[in-house]
Amino acid sequence: MVADVGYGALVITFLLCFYGIGAAIYGVKKKEQSWVESARHAMLLSLPLLTISALSIINLLVTDQFQVAYVASVTNRSMPTYLRVTALWGGQEGSLILWVWLLSAFASAVMLRDWKRDREFLPWVIIVCLVTLGFFLILIIFVENPFAKMWITETGERVTSIFQPGGSEPFIPVDGNGLNPLLRHPGMIYHPPMLYLGFVSFVIPFAFAIASLVTGRTDDRWIRITRRWTLWAWLFLAIGLILGARWAYDVLGWGGYWGWDAVEIAALMPWLAATPFLHSVMIQEKRGMFKHWNMFLIILTYDLMIFGTFLTRSGVLSSVHAFAQSAIGPLFFAFIVLTLGTSLWLLSRRWQDLKSETRITSLLSRESMFLINNWLFMGILVVSFWGVIFPLLTEALGIVGDTFPSLSHIFTGQKVTVGPIYYERATGPLLAGLLFLMGVAPLSAWRASTARTLGRAIWKPFAVSLVVLVIIIGGGIRHPGALLAFWLCAFVTVVTLYEFWRGMAARRRRSGENYGLALWRLAARNRRRYGGYIIHLGVVLMALGIIGIEIFQTETQGTIAIGKQMSLGEYSFTFDKLDEFDTRDGRNVARAEISVFKNGEFVETLAPRRDFYYESGQRMTIPGLRSTIEDDFYVLLVSWEPISAENATFKAFHNPLVNWLWFGAIIFILGTFVAAWPEREKQYMPIKTDQSIATAST
């Protein structure tokens, strides 16, 4: 019954999408606002309908309705209620429901804004949102239906279908499979919704961009409307990525947080397109340039977001052959081709209207720095995209070898692995380049910057950063890559703090405010600029953590008896004891206790453990972790002697500086809050007519 209500709500929403698209188009054609209004109401109505649908699933999940295949696949009787609720995004079908619900919620929020100044955008924003929503509803209703139930036919066959097949009996399993234990970690409970929040919110700026292309209102209005929105989307995506990284570090048991896995990259790619977008829209706002490019970037972000969902949801990553087996892959593929093609076609139609109003006048100006930033980000994006796609290509191109045997030695159809080495080697220099730009760009001026003016601005921070470098060398670090990276971090930090200082001192001298108040007011008056700087500082701190793990991580593995010791660098630990026991929630836990010593002195007792989930047969390795601002000591229990428990194998990692990654992430998030917090809409002074502002603002 509940399942039927939920399913019915989905179907009605789907029909509503058709109606809304039709009404909006008709309204535009006939110039009748009432039809557009009706389309707007259709968009608004989708939210309560999808809410009913989502609540229906949650109801099924918490009430043990195991006849529903999705419920049986992600819950069981022993799971606590909060986990059953979050099981909404524990599997494919449910997470698609979350996806459409979020889209509907965001689109509805946009519908409620004041459209007085942007009437012409409204129908097109509705159309883009409804087309996207409709596509995902097709996936849910026809391919991945979370409300489908299980039935036993007369021949004893078990089928999954929304309607009862003739002559069949309901099949109700005694218990469900339960949520994958790896997904029961808090990081995994918050990570998918955050990621989806980020993914889905990018639909909105894209919709405005398309509206601007279609209507021919190609000034930067669409950017001004969606600027904050884009920042929030970008933030949620970043939080999703960071939570995912933390989850990997805590649960996956390989001593790191980012493995350049295709699923991770799928989520990273929209972020890699959105970040240069956030930078380069500033050039358009200030100087009226690169309108084509900004359009292209937001289109790219949108389609990479769809592509990311496609990669993780179609099964194409495990094998391209899975792509053909389910309809979901081809559907996604068709949708990406369609949206990308249409968007680029619209862009080409408006090419003339989007000509730059001004030109770049200096190679060292802020706008050219932003362009170089865009270029480096695109470089990282190409590396990532190609690394993900290439194994799929080699596998898919096997068909050429099969068709033309003479070419089969080239097109073997063998899948290859593109591991972290490839990505690290290729992205390392690009990331270093980005750090360098973060140091130089804030000191360059809009429009006119010469080597001399830039040099004069930069020499002081540069000199201070060299002093820091000397101190680091004095500290005994000799690795050239690490020295370069640390120097870059120091340089960016000094420049950024110097920028704060300059602004603060200037205010203070003028107004006589004390330093704290001057800083506060300065940041409050120009939040995007100073929020951006705080984000930069967060990135530098995160870079410290990355450098620590990439360059200085060490590891060792060994089997030791109780009472014996193992060591790694300054650290050593003794194996004190090992207990094996069953828990009430169906786990077998093997928990070792070790005493950790640093330079021979006892510091902490850790308990690395291994959980074995009886029902799913899955294992989870939870590290024993000693975490300080200096380094992490991360110990895994790899294996042990059963029964006697006298010997055990441990793997220990020494991860210097890694905590700065998480700390930096918090600063990063705070900075984005500063930059994105809503304020009343205001008209900025156009820079073109008053150059003085150009030199003093971002």
Q: Number of C-alpha atoms within 13 angstroms, CB side, residue 361?
A: 11
Candidate segments 271-279, 342-350, 440-448, 541-549, binder of another protein by CB under 8 A: 440-448
Candidate segments 5-13, 65-73, 127-135, 387-395, binder of another protein by CB under 8 A: 387-395
Candidate segments 15-23, 48-56, 192-200, 449-457, binder of another protein by CB under 8 A: 449-457
Q: At its nearest, how many Å lie between another protein and the CB of residue 382?
A: 5
* Cβ-contact 76, 140 below 8 angstroms: no
Residue 355 CB coordination number (10 Å): 11
Task: Give the integer Cα–Cα distance in Å for 688 and 278.
Answer: 21
Q: At its nearest, how many Å lie between another protein and the CB of residue 502?
A: 6
Task: Give the integer Cα–Cα distance in Å for 576 and 565.
Answer: 10
Binding mask 170-209 for another protein (x = CB under 8 A): ----------------------------------------
Q: At its nearest, how many Å lie between another protein and the CB of residue 415?
A: 5
Tokens at residue 454, please? 């830039």
Query: Of 338, 416, 467, 629, which lies in the binding site for another protein, with binding defined by CB under 8 A?
Result: 416
- Reported as type and span, the H/E element at residue 613 is strand 609-613
Task: Find the radius of gyration of the CA atoms of the chain.
Answer: 28
Q: At its nearest, how many Å lie between another protein and the CB of residue 562?
A: 14
Beta bridge partners of 580: 590
* Cβ-contact 447, 691 below 8 angstroms: yes
Beta bridge partners of 604: 596
Task: Give the integer Cα–Cα distance in Å for 623 and 183.
Answer: 16
HEC string of 304-328 equals HHHHHHHHHHCCCCCCHHHHHHCCH
Smaller CB separation from another protein, 343 or 362: 362
Does 394 participate in binding another protein (rule CB under 8 A)? yes
Helical packing angle, 203-215 and 122-138, nearest 10°: 130
Tokens at residue 596, please? 């950790």
Does 692 participate in binding another protein (rule CB under 8 A)? yes
- Reported as type and span, the H/E element at residue 160 is strand 158-161
Does 449 participate in binding another protein (rule CB under 8 A)? yes
Q: At its nearest, how many Å lie between another protein and the CB of residue 278?
A: 19
Task: Give the integer Cα–Cα distance in Å for 445 and 410.
Answer: 52
Q: At its nearest, how many Å lie between another protein and the CB of residue 15?
A: 39
Does 506 participate in binding another protein (rule CB under 8 A)? yes
Does 390 participate in binding another protein (rule CB under 8 A)? yes
Binding mask 456-485 for another protein (x = CB under 8 A): xx----------------------------
Query: Of 22, 173, 259, 569, which lies in the binding site for another protein, with binding defined by CB under 8 A?
Result: 259
Does 696 participate in binding another protein (rule CB under 8 A)? yes
Instruction: List the interface residues with another protein, window 225-244 (CB under 8 A).
Output: none
Smaller CB separation from another protein, 214 or 590: 590
Candidate segments 94-102, 123-131, 375-383, 485-493, binder of another protein by CB under 8 A: 375-383
Instruction: List the interface residues with another protein, window 512-571 (CB under 8 A).
Output: 522, 525-526, 555-559
Instruction: List the interface residues with another protein, window 633-652 (CB under 8 A).
Output: 638-642, 649, 651
Report how far Cα 670 is from the mean position of its chain's Cα atoms.
Answer: 17
Query: Of 40, 184, 227, 507, which lies in the binding site for another protein, with binding defined by CB under 8 A?
Result: 507
Does 363 participate in binding another protein (rule CB under 8 A)? yes
Q: At its nearest, how many Å lie between another protein and the CB of residue 585?
A: 18
Task: Give the integer Cα–Cα distance in Å for 540 and 438.
Answer: 9
Nearest one of 132, 135, 110, 133 to 122, comparing CA atoms: 110
Smaller CB separation from another protein, 348 or 639: 639
- Let me know how many helices (H) and strands (E) the chain has, helices first: 22, 13
